[in-house]
Amino acid sequence: MTTDDILKEIVSNSIDTNFNNNISISVLGQEVTLKGIVKSYDEKDKIEQITWNTFGVVSVNNELAINNEN
């Protein structure tokens, strides 16, 4: 398992613990990219914050989209 794989698993577990989303997480050289659809701007921001708070993360690309269906 590479360092990127370990970091991806840690971020994924942190997000899954707090949210029930199907978010795509990719890691390249401690840079994390988040993709997927979330329910609100608040949820998008919280997921980004969880990612930033993960030890080893040096950059976050938050490409999460907001689901506008009500």
Angle, CA 20 vertex, CA 46 and CA 17 arms, to 5°: 70
Domain span at 45 = 3-66
- Looking at the DSSP bridge assignments, the partners of residue 27 are 32
Given pLDDT bands bounded at 50, 70 and 90, which one contains residue 18?
confident
Given pLDDT bands bounded at 50, 70 and 90, which one contains residue 16?
confident
pTM above 0.85, yes or no: yes
Q: Please count the structural domains in the chain.
A: 1
Helix (H) or strand (E) holding 26: strand 24-28
Given pLDDT bands bounded at 50, 70 and 90, which one contains residue 70?
low
**What average pLDDT score do residues 3-24 get?**
87
In the predicted structure, residue 58 carries a pLDDT above the cut 70: yes
Looking up residue 18, the CATH number of its domain turns out to be: 3.30.1340.30
